[in-house]
Structure 1
Amino acid sequence: MKTFKILGLLLTYPVPETVGCWPALGDLLVREGLLAKKPLKRIRQWLAENAERDIYDLQEHYVDTFDRGRGHCLHLFEHVHGDSRERGQAMVDLSEMYAAKGLTINQAELPDYLPLFLEYCSLCDYHQAQALLSEISHILVSIGTRLEQRDNHYHIVFDCLQALAKTKVDQKIIDAAISFVQAEDTSLAALDKEWEEAAAFDGDPQQADCAGCRSVAEEMLPTERREQTVKIVGGVQ
């Protein structure tokens, strides 16, 4: 299913080769027809507007959004395990799940990187992919709510993902995300303190190629395969 892979691509670092294809990707979303009218309209408008922006502005905005704090981190297990030992085993389990579907990753990538996870979903049938998204819906809503509270339009991508998951999230998670933004210290000193501990894993998958994500506009992978749905994450930390 191209929709999952496209939404994953939109959460990777913007480069001219992909940004130039954004309007066409919007057309692909229409043709596949998985998104409802409202989120589809909003994501297509967002794509059209951003395709006209200066690439350096887009890149700066991306870094400001996803690389300057853990609240919007695109690594799923950061929101579940943090730097605990459980994260290592969870990474192994997720990598094995990918391998069973024939999806391999390079050494610079972490398996819990959301665009990579969405590429895996694109290899599943619709109901399996929907079930997988529902398992991380609390993370998607938490990040999306934080972005919306900051008037950051990347929240539109997370709204689309949540629409695909079709899972109602506890209002407490939304309230907690709003409170997080309201109480957050965004000073440089606070940012330095947040990241002062060494990361548990090396690599910078947000900057790395996401397997086939880089060529999604040119060649979409087939999706008529079957896989047992696996629950991968628990509650938000």
Structure 2
Amino acid sequence: MCCLLLSSTNGPAFNAGRSIWLPGWLNAVNENSNSLFLTIGPGDFLVHHAIALGLHTTTLILVEGALDARGSKLMPDKKDFGYSFPCDGPGRGGTCDISAWDAFYLAVFWMLNTIGWVTFYWHWKHITLWQGNVSQFNESSTYLMGWLRDYLWLNSSQLINGYNPFGMNSLSVWAWMFLFGHLVWATGFMFLISWRGYWQELIETLAWAHERTPLANLIRWRDKPVALSIVQTRLVGLAHFSVGYIFTYAAFLIASTSGKFG
């Protein structure tokens, strides 16, 4: 039994730790003149505060949504309107975007933002460490253009060229996933920004043109189509935003890493 314990000098874990996966780890733990932690600088300081902002904002939205889910001083009878409602009309100003669903909906955006910041930070830091160029992160991570130019653009250049007029390479599948993710993500804003009246008028215009087209008017519908409600469009927009966001960044993460290190 003692051979299975990490403290046993005869155990496989101890021997593997000395020779295979982390040589010298025991000496490093007991050494007083070095540190096992990565050195941090101004960029790390800024990112840690950005992550703290995202965590606090997400938590605050969820707490507010939970505490005021059934009623608040602004709208004491909120529970009578259900889990999700767009607004209670112009008679009571300020009743838009305060349902429990809206709190969840907004918290998901902040959650995705925070996860993105954590992953951006972790990925860029480790790419520069693995390449032996940690000074790039230390110098470029202190301003926004550094993140856009030296992290996102520099690391996506290989991905963008995964499929070009000269042929394709091993990154082409990730290049297509990258483009597809952007398409799904961008389509979400069509639902998040344009409200129901715009879509209803657009549908009525299309229906009018359909009914007056010689061949198209052979196909009829039982009930004239109507636009999605505000709550429904938010759900569709949120789904598009989340799925597109994950697909886009997953393709970037995998391709930019494998393109450098194989």
TM range (shorter): under 0.3
Bigger CA radius of gyration: 2
Q: Larger RCO: Structure 1 or Structure 2 (Cα < 8 Å, ≥ 6 residues apart)?
A: 1
